[in-house]
């Protein structure tokens, strides 16, 4: 399976700008640029998109874990905080912190934590990231 996305950039790093699109059309010419990435400008940025992808991937992985354990979730809400740090002469994504809240009837806190940890390490996006991945997982009643 292959999924496609692309970006077009025009101009210099600070005065230029670009657009990001996906083959599904969910993103079509979504603007991104220096100000959206390093300041408080309009548009999106790669770290924000990576966070959305990691949160979505993890939520699906947790749903799989819970369903396979016989306790399918009613709701999983995952937020991802991506850390972009200055490293040497450039920048690096150094962490992804997942904040998870889930409503899972019949789950114990211990079982939920165990399955959330399995989903965190098993999620394909977690596997591709070389950053430290942390998580806060809360089982709601």
Where in the sequence is the domain holding 65, given as residue range(s)? 46-140
If asked whether residues 92 and 124 sit together in one domain, one would say yes
Distances 53 to 12, 75, 105, 108, 126 between C-alpha atoms, Å = 27, 18, 26, 28, 10
If asked whether residues 21 and 51 sit together in one domain, one would say no
Place of tokens 């993103």: 27
Q: How many domains does the chain have?
A: 2
Angle value at C-alpha 24, between 19 and 27, nearest 5 degrees: 30
> Model confidence at 54, in pLDDT bands (50, 70, 90)?
very high
Q: Which residues pair with 5 in a beta bridge?
A: 22
Comparing C-alpha atoms, which of 69, 78, 137, 65 is closest to residue 106? 69
38 pLDDT exceeds 90? no
Q: List, edge to edge, every strand of the sheet that includes 30-32.
A: 5-10, 17-22, 30-32
pLDDT given for residue 111 in this prediction: 97
Per-residue pLDDT of 4-29, as tens digits, reads 999 999 999 999 999 999 999 999 99
If asked whether residues 56 and 28 sit together in one domain, one would say no
Domain containing 57 — which CATH number? 3.30.300.20
If asked whether residues 79 and 32 sit together in one domain, one would say no
- Secondary structure element (H or E) that encloses residue 124, with its range: helix 124-128
pLDDT given for residue 131 in this prediction: 78
69 pLDDT exceeds 90? yes
C-alpha to C-alpha distance for 120 and 114, rounded to whole angstroms: 10
């Amino acid at each position: 399976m292959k999924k496609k996305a692309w970006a077009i950039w025009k101009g210099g790093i600070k005065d230029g700008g670009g657009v990001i699109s996906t083959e599904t059309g969910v993103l079509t010419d979504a603007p991104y640029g220096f100000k959206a990435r390093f300041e408080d400008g309009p548009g999106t940025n790669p770290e924000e998109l990576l966070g959305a992808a990691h949160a979505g991937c993890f939520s699906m992985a947790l749903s799989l874990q819970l369903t396979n354990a016989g306790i399918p979730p009613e709701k999983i809400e995952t937020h991802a905080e991506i850390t972009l740090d200055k490293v040497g002469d450039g920048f690096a994504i150094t962490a992804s912190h997942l904040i998870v809240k889930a409503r899972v009837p019949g789950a114990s806190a211990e079982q939920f934590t165990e399955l959330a940890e399995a989903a965190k390490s098993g999620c394909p996006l977690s596997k591709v990231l070389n950053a430290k991945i942390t998580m806060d997982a809360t089982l709601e009643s």
